[in-house]
Amino acid sequence: CLVTSKAVLLGAYVKLWAVVAEFDNDGNVLRSGEHIFEDLYLSNDMGVYALVTQHNSVFDIRSSWKLVDDTTSLNNYSVSLSTENGQPISGPVEVPITETTYTFENVTENYYLVCVMVNGNGFSSDYVCSDVIYARAPTDTEYIPEVEPAETLITSDNSVKISWSLSDEKLEGVTAFLIEFSQN
Protein backbone atom coordinates (compact mmCIF):
# COMPACT_ATOMS: atom_id res chain seq x y z
CA CYS A 1 0.00 0.00 0.00
CA LEU A 2 1.42 3.37 -0.97
CA VAL A 3 -0.11 6.66 0.14
CA THR A 4 1.25 9.97 -1.08
CA SER A 5 0.02 13.49 -0.55
CA LYS A 6 -1.09 13.47 -4.20
CA ALA A 7 -3.26 10.44 -3.50
CA VAL A 8 -5.00 12.13 -0.58
CA LEU A 9 -7.33 14.69 -2.10
CA LEU A 10 -8.60 16.11 1.18
CA GLY A 11 -6.35 17.65 3.78
CA ALA A 12 -6.77 15.31 6.72
CA TYR A 13 -5.09 13.09 9.30
CA VAL A 14 -4.56 9.63 7.84
CA LYS A 15 -3.82 6.54 9.91
CA LEU A 16 -3.40 3.17 8.16
CA TRP A 17 -2.82 -0.23 9.75
CA ALA A 18 -1.10 -2.57 7.34
CA VAL A 19 -0.01 -6.19 7.36
CA VAL A 20 3.14 -6.50 5.31
CA ALA A 21 4.43 -9.79 3.90
CA GLU A 22 7.34 -10.77 1.70
CA PHE A 23 6.99 -13.84 -0.51
CA ASP A 24 9.51 -15.92 -2.45
CA ASN A 25 8.97 -16.98 -6.09
CA ASP A 26 7.06 -20.10 -4.97
CA GLY A 27 4.58 -18.07 -2.88
CA ASN A 28 6.05 -19.00 0.50
CA VAL A 29 6.04 -16.30 3.18
CA LEU A 30 9.59 -15.20 3.96
CA ARG A 31 8.76 -12.46 6.48
CA SER A 32 5.66 -10.73 7.72
CA GLY A 33 4.70 -8.08 10.19
CA GLU A 34 2.42 -5.16 10.80
CA HIS A 35 2.93 -1.45 10.83
CA ILE A 36 0.90 1.68 11.45
CA PHE A 37 1.45 4.48 8.98
CA GLU A 38 0.18 7.91 9.95
CA ASP A 39 0.55 11.37 8.54
CA LEU A 40 -1.19 14.71 8.38
CA TYR A 41 -1.89 15.90 4.85
CA LEU A 42 -2.59 19.59 4.42
CA SER A 43 -5.21 20.71 1.92
CA ASN A 44 -4.10 21.45 -1.65
CA ASP A 45 -5.60 24.93 -1.34
CA MET A 46 -4.16 25.63 2.09
CA GLY A 47 -3.29 29.15 3.07
CA VAL A 48 -2.94 31.64 5.90
CA TYR A 49 -4.11 35.19 5.35
CA ALA A 50 -3.78 38.36 7.41
CA LEU A 51 -5.35 41.79 7.29
CA VAL A 52 -4.47 44.93 9.26
CA THR A 53 -7.05 47.32 10.73
CA GLN A 54 -6.04 50.51 12.52
CA HIS A 55 -7.34 51.81 15.87
CA ASN A 56 -5.78 55.17 16.71
CA SER A 57 -2.03 54.51 16.99
CA VAL A 58 -2.24 50.70 17.26
CA PHE A 59 -3.38 47.96 14.92
CA ASP A 60 -5.28 44.70 14.97
CA ILE A 61 -4.14 41.86 12.75
CA ARG A 62 -7.00 39.61 11.71
CA SER A 63 -5.92 36.22 10.51
CA SER A 64 -7.82 33.47 8.75
CA TRP A 65 -6.72 30.16 7.33
CA LYS A 66 -7.60 26.97 5.57
CA LEU A 67 -5.27 24.08 6.26
CA VAL A 68 -7.34 20.87 6.35
CA ASP A 69 -10.68 19.82 4.92
CA ASP A 70 -11.46 17.03 7.40
CA THR A 71 -10.91 17.97 11.05
CA THR A 72 -12.27 14.72 12.52
CA SER A 73 -9.09 13.54 14.31
CA LEU A 74 -7.69 16.98 15.07
CA ASN A 75 -7.70 18.99 18.32
CA ASN A 76 -6.89 22.63 17.62
CA TYR A 77 -4.77 25.16 15.78
CA SER A 78 -1.73 26.98 17.18
CA VAL A 79 -1.58 30.56 15.90
CA SER A 80 1.41 32.84 16.38
CA LEU A 81 2.46 36.32 15.36
CA SER A 82 6.06 37.23 14.61
CA THR A 83 8.01 39.97 12.92
CA GLU A 84 9.07 39.36 9.33
CA ASN A 85 12.46 38.07 10.53
CA GLY A 86 10.86 35.48 12.83
CA GLN A 87 11.04 37.33 16.16
CA PRO A 88 8.03 36.07 18.19
CA ILE A 89 5.53 38.76 19.18
CA SER A 90 2.55 36.79 20.43
CA GLY A 91 1.52 33.16 20.78
CA PRO A 92 1.27 30.46 20.04
CA VAL A 93 -2.41 30.74 20.95
CA GLU A 94 -4.57 27.62 20.84
CA VAL A 95 -7.69 28.11 18.73
CA PRO A 96 -10.48 25.48 18.68
CA ILE A 97 -10.53 23.26 15.59
CA THR A 98 -14.01 24.59 14.74
CA GLU A 99 -12.67 28.13 14.24
CA THR A 100 -10.48 29.41 11.43
CA THR A 101 -9.88 33.01 12.48
CA TYR A 102 -7.99 34.82 15.20
CA THR A 103 -7.23 38.51 15.87
CA PHE A 104 -4.02 39.81 17.42
CA GLU A 105 -4.94 43.11 19.04
CA ASN A 106 -3.01 46.29 19.80
CA VAL A 107 0.19 45.68 17.84
CA THR A 108 2.49 48.51 16.83
CA GLU A 109 3.71 49.56 13.39
CA ASN A 110 5.91 46.83 11.94
CA TYR A 111 6.15 44.05 9.34
CA TYR A 112 4.45 40.84 10.53
CA LEU A 113 3.80 37.19 9.72
CA VAL A 114 0.93 35.09 11.05
CA CYS A 115 1.72 31.37 11.26
CA VAL A 116 -0.69 28.50 11.96
CA MET A 117 -0.13 24.81 12.76
CA VAL A 118 -2.68 21.97 13.10
CA ASN A 119 -2.52 19.83 16.26
CA GLY A 120 -3.83 16.31 16.91
CA ASN A 121 -3.20 13.71 19.60
CA GLY A 122 0.59 13.42 19.62
CA PHE A 123 1.23 15.02 16.23
CA SER A 124 1.32 18.47 14.64
CA SER A 125 1.76 19.87 11.15
CA ASP A 126 4.51 22.28 10.23
CA TYR A 127 3.67 25.96 10.54
CA VAL A 128 2.09 27.53 7.46
CA CYS A 129 2.59 31.31 7.33
CA SER A 130 0.93 34.29 5.70
CA ASP A 131 2.71 36.66 3.39
CA VAL A 132 4.51 39.51 5.18
CA ILE A 133 2.07 42.28 6.03
CA TYR A 134 2.86 45.85 7.02
CA ALA A 135 0.92 47.45 9.86
CA ARG A 136 1.17 51.19 9.40
CA ALA A 137 -0.97 54.29 9.34
CA PRO A 138 -1.84 55.55 5.87
CA THR A 139 -0.34 58.85 4.83
CA ASP A 140 -2.61 61.84 4.30
CA THR A 141 -2.30 61.48 0.53
CA GLU A 142 -3.18 57.76 0.35
CA TYR A 143 -6.52 56.82 -1.12
CA ILE A 144 -8.28 53.86 0.46
CA PRO A 145 -11.35 53.00 -1.62
CA GLU A 146 -14.61 51.99 -0.01
CA VAL A 147 -16.49 49.62 -2.24
CA GLU A 148 -20.21 49.06 -2.23
CA PRO A 149 -21.22 45.69 -3.62
CA ALA A 150 -22.63 45.82 -7.13
CA GLU A 151 -24.49 42.58 -6.46
CA THR A 152 -25.31 40.71 -3.27
CA LEU A 153 -26.90 37.29 -3.39
CA ILE A 154 -27.77 35.23 -0.29
CA THR A 155 -26.98 31.64 -1.23
CA SER A 156 -27.87 29.91 2.07
CA ASP A 157 -28.44 30.64 5.76
CA ASN A 158 -24.70 31.06 6.33
CA SER A 159 -23.22 32.22 3.03
CA VAL A 160 -23.43 35.25 0.79
CA LYS A 161 -22.04 35.86 -2.68
CA ILE A 162 -20.77 39.41 -3.17
CA SER A 163 -19.42 40.88 -6.39
CA TRP A 164 -18.23 44.33 -7.43
CA SER A 165 -16.27 46.01 -10.14
CA LEU A 166 -13.45 48.51 -9.76
CA SER A 167 -11.31 50.17 -12.38
CA ASP A 168 -7.60 49.40 -12.48
CA GLU A 169 -6.99 52.96 -11.33
CA LYS A 170 -9.02 52.42 -8.14
CA LEU A 171 -7.29 49.09 -7.51
CA GLU A 172 -3.78 50.54 -7.71
CA GLY A 173 -1.97 49.81 -4.45
CA VAL A 174 -4.83 47.71 -3.01
CA THR A 175 -3.43 44.56 -1.39
CA ALA A 176 -6.52 43.17 0.35
CA PHE A 177 -10.22 43.68 0.85
CA LEU A 178 -11.92 43.56 4.26
CA ILE A 179 -15.42 42.16 3.98
CA GLU A 180 -17.53 42.30 7.12
CA PHE A 181 -20.70 40.27 7.25
CA SER A 182 -23.25 39.99 10.03
CA GLN A 183 -26.59 38.25 10.25
CA ASN A 184 -29.46 40.10 11.86
Rounded CA-CA distance 23/148 in Å is 69
Per-residue pLDDT of the chain (184 residues; tens, 9 = 90+): 444 444 444 455 556 666 778 888 888 888 888 766 666 666 656 788 888 887 777 888 888 888 877 777 788 999 999 988 888 888 799 999 888 889 998 888 888 889 998 888 777 888 888 888 888 776 554 555 566 656 666 665 666 667 766 777 766 666 666 666 666 5
Query: Going by C-beta distance under 8 Å and a sequence separation of 6 or more, which residues neighbour residue 28?
Result: none
State phi, psi for 58 to the nearest 5 degrees.
Answer: -120, 170
pTM (predicted TM-score):
0.61
